[in-house]
Structure 1
Amino acid sequence: MRKPIIFMEEKMINVQDIVTLQMETVSRWHHEPIDNPYSDLEQAVCTQHQFNYQLWHQEDIARSRDVTDEKIAEVKRAIDGFNQNRNDWIEKVDDYITELVQSRSVKVQPDARLNTETPGSVIDRLSILSLRIYHMEEQLERSDVNQEHLDSVNHKIAICRLQQDELSNSLQELLDDIFAGRKRHRTYRQLKMYNDPSLNPYLYKKQVA
């Protein structure tokens, strides 16, 4: 098993460990059952990641034209559930980082600013990138496509890899700033309404009727 995420002397999280976890689990889960052998922050990251993994594959089914309407309805409900869990766990990852910041008594500088995205949201984007890269690379194994298709896929993979590198570098800088007190950290509550029968008009109006 890989070494756990290390909190170094600078009180920073190693983002490359997170990226490696996402890439390794995507590959493993395509051949073995979904697992989560991690602990602490890695465990939260992996849980959030697995909902993206399940969401990705349900969305593939939803776009198929050779399944019944009943199956599509079932898949759409599953998508709603996985998407709700995905967003819930973005918040839990951010909450975990809040606990780490507090446990290290980080002194936030008076002029520290908030970022437009939380670390949890960036980790979510990296999760999706790892899925996109894996499935793009699957395309290179096809024998029923021409060289033009392969060249196009290789170009897309290069773009995804660049985005993954740049996004992970930006996340590392953000986390370094948070743990040094140069930036503030806050969990942004997404407050999804569509799954809440008290907030979704279609659902609460049906209850009244």
Structure 2
Amino acid sequence: MPDALSFPPIAELTQLQIDAVDRWHRDPIDNPFDGIQSLVCQQHEFNYRLWHQEDKARSPSATDEEIANVKRAIDKLNQARNDMIEKVDDALTEILCKAGVPASDGPINTETTGSAIDRLSIMSLRLYHYREQADRDGASDEHRGKVNERIALCEQQHADLSKSLQQLVDDIFAGKKQHRTYRQMKMYNDPSLNPAIYNAGS
């Protein structure tokens, strides 16, 4: 099992995400953490900001200029979010090295720990906003019923992924699974790789 001081239980990280979503809807965005928790919180912040920018992009009253500005903000936030996935995975690599866990030749999961934490972050946002819809003034019984069905499904998916991720982390520290950082290598923000950018002046 991982040292709780180095890599906390997944349940602790998911609670951090859940609490932050609720807090950030009432108070300014903060990050009162250290270590891996701080990285998870920072990655979660980018998802939080992305969620609300996506809402703006879909407003039927948004002007073309507003949509263009939101799209650029989304690109930057998405790049930062993906960078943080890598940083979480790099931090786990460092923790494993410091803990003296030898490299494993065991199987590799289809996604990394950082990627799964990112998915849990998005799930916590989805759950918050579905619950907000369930409590919305003036909503019909049909609307509430549909939303509550989706909440139940999201809660099950969140619980399943949390459990699977904890098993993965346990297996990594036990040497049963390999851990790697997979570089996101996004191309659209790189002026040397996006033809719409490097051909702009031609």
Q: TM-score range by the shorter chain?
A: over 0.9
Equivalent AA in structure 2 for residue 150 of structure 1: R
| Residue of structure 2 equivalent to 1:194 | 188
| Residue of structure 1 equivalent to 2:68 | 73
Shift of 1:140: 1.6
Measured at CA, do residues 164 and 202 of structure 1 come closer, stay the same or move farther in structure 2, by a change above 3 Å?
Answer: same
How far, CA to CA, are the matches of 2:188 and 2:18 in structure 1?
31
Shift of 1:109: 4.1
How far, CA to CA, are the matches of 1:83 and 1:77 in structure 2?
10
| Residue of structure 2 equivalent to 1:53 | 48
Mean Cα displacement is larger for which, 50-59 or 101-110?
101-110
Shift of 1:8: 4.0
| Residue of structure 2 equivalent to 1:3 | none
3-state SS of the aligned residue for 1:184? coil
**5+ residue gaps in structure 1?**
1-5
Paired residues in the alignment total 201
TM-score w.r.t. length of structure 2: 0.96
1:13–1:172 contact (8 Å) kept in structure 2: no
2:89–2:180 contact (8 Å) kept in structure 1: yes
| Residue of structure 1 equivalent to 2:141 | 147
Shift of 1:128: 0.2
2:14–2:120 contact (8 Å) kept in structure 1: yes
Q: Does 1:135 align with 2:129?
A: yes
Shift of 1:143: 2.2
Q: Find 1:34's aligned residue among 29, 34, 37.
A: 29
Deviations 1:161-195 (A, max 9, x none): 00010000000000000111111100000100000
TM-score w.r.t. length of structure 1: 0.93
Equivalent AA in structure 1 for residue 35 of structure 2: D
Q: Find 2:101's aligned residue among 100, 106, 123.
A: 106
Shift of 1:13: 3.4
Percent of paired sites with the same residue: 55
Q: Does 1:7 align with 2:6?
A: no
Q: Does 1:157 align with 2:122?
A: no
2:7–2:95 contact (8 Å) kept in structure 1: no
Equivalent AA in structure 1 for residue 48 of structure 2: Y
Shift of 1:12: 5.9
Measured at CA, do residues 179 and 193 of structure 1 come closer, stay the same or move farther in structure 2, by a change above 3 Å?
Answer: same
* Runs of 4+ that moved beyond 6 A: none
Measured at CA, do residues 37 and 8 of structure 1 come closer, stay the same or move farther in structure 2, by a change above 3 Å?
Answer: closer
Mean Cα displacement is larger for which, 66-75 or 86-95?
66-75
3-state SS of the aligned residue for 1:113? coil
How far, CA to CA, are the matches of 1:132 and 1:60 in structure 2?
12
How far, CA to CA, are the matches of 2:189 and 2:102 in structure 1?
38
How far, CA to CA, are the matches of 1:161 and 1:132 in structure 2?
10
How far, CA to CA, are the matches of 2:66 and 2:104 in structure 1?
53
How far, CA to CA, are the matches of 1:145 and 1:181 in structure 2?
51
